[in-house]
Amino acid sequence: MSVKNVLAVALGIMSAIGGFVDIGDLVFNTQAGAIFGFQLLWVVVIGVVGIIVYSEMCGRVSAVAQRPVFDLVRERTGFGAGLATLAASEVVNLMTCAAEVGGVAICFQLLSGLPYRLLIPLAVLALAVSSWVLPFRWLERVFGYLGLSMLAFAVAAIKLHPDWGHVAHGFVPGSHSGGSLMVYLYFVVGLLGAAMTPYEVYFYSSGAVEDRWGVKELRLNEVTAMIGYALGGFLSFALMIVAGVLFLPRGISPQFLGTPALTAEHALGQVGLLLALVGILFAVGGAAVETSFAGAYNLAQFFGWRWGKKERPAAASRFTLSWLAIFALALLLVMTGYDPVKLTEYSVIFSVVALPLTYLPILLVANDHAYMGANVNGKLANFLGVLYFGLILAIAVAAIPLMLLTHGGQG
Spatial distance between the Cα atoms of 101 and 121, rounded to a whole number of angstroms: 9
Residue in 53, 52, 50, 33 with CA at minimum distance from that of residue 41: 33
Spatial distance between the Cα atoms of 381 and 384, rounded to a whole number of angstroms: 5
Within a 13 Å sphere around the CA of 123, how many CA atoms are in the beta-carbon half? 37
Q: Which of 22, 25, 56, 71 binds another protein (CB under 8 A)?
A: 71
Restricted to residues 26-65, the positions that interact with another protein (CB under 8 A) are 65
Count of residues touching another protein (by CB under 8 A): 38
112 binds another protein (CB under 8 A): no
Spatial distance between the Cα atoms of 209 and 66, rounded to a whole number of angstroms: 6
Q: Kindly state the smallest distance separating residue 93's Cβ from another protein, in Å.
A: 20
DSSP states of 195-211: HS-HHHHHHHHHHHHHT
CB 40 within 8 A of CB 188: yes
CB 26 within 8 A of CB 257: yes
Q: Which of 57, 72, 283, 326 binds another protein (CB under 8 A)?
A: 72
Nearer to another protein, 75 or 163 (CB): 75
Q: Kindly state the smallest distance separating residue 201's Cβ from another protein, in Å.
A: 18
CB 19 within 8 A of CB 290: yes
Nearer to another protein, 77 or 298 (CB): 77
Q: Kindly state the smallest distance separating residue 19's Cβ from another protein, in Å.
A: 25
Q: Which of 114, 125, 132, 219 binds another protein (CB under 8 A)?
A: 132
Spatial distance between the Cα atoms of 203 and 227, rounded to a whole number of angstroms: 17
Residue in 130, 148, 128 with CA at minimum distance from that of residue 139: 130
Nearer to another protein, 176 or 309 (CB): 309
Spatial distance between the Cα atoms of 362 and 106, rounded to a whole number of angstroms: 34
Q: Kindly state the smallest distance separating residue 410's Cβ from another protein, in Å.
A: 37
Q: Kindly state the smallest distance separating residue 143's Cβ from another protein, in Å.
A: 20
Spatial distance between the Cα atoms of 293 and 202, rounded to a whole number of angstroms: 10
Spatial distance between the Cα atoms of 287 and 276, rounded to a whole number of angstroms: 16
Q: Kindly state the smallest distance separating residue 76's Cβ from another protein, in Å.
A: 5
Q: Which of 6, 7, 10, 79 binds another protein (CB under 8 A)?
A: 79
Q: Kindly state the smallest distance separating residue 5's Cβ from another protein, in Å.
A: 29
Q: Kindly state the smallest distance separating residue 138's Cβ from another protein, in Å.
A: 14
133 binds another protein (CB under 8 A): yes
Nearer to another protein, 242 or 299 (CB): 299
CB 157 within 8 A of CB 241: yes
Residue in 131, 128, 129, 119 with CA at minimum distance from that of residue 335: 119
Q: Which of 9, 42, 45, 67 binds another protein (CB under 8 A)?
A: 67
74 binds another protein (CB under 8 A): yes
82 binds another protein (CB under 8 A): yes
Spatial distance between the Cα atoms of 264 and 135, rounded to a whole number of angstroms: 33
Torsion of CA 380, 382, 387, 392, to 10 degrees: 130
Q: What is the CA radius of gyration of the chain?
A: 20
Each residue 293-312 as x (binds another protein by CB under 8 A) or -, in order, gives: ---------xxxxxx----x
Each residue 308-347 as x (binds another protein by CB under 8 A) or -, in order, gives: ----xxxxxxx-xx--------------------------
Q: Which of 81, 151, 248, 329 binds another protein (CB under 8 A)?
A: 81
Phi, psi of 178 (to 5 degrees): 110, -20
214 binds another protein (CB under 8 A): no
Where along the sequence are the contacts to another protein (CB under 8 A)? 65, 67, 71-72, 74-83, 132-133, 302-307, 312-318, 320-321, 360, 364-365, 368-371
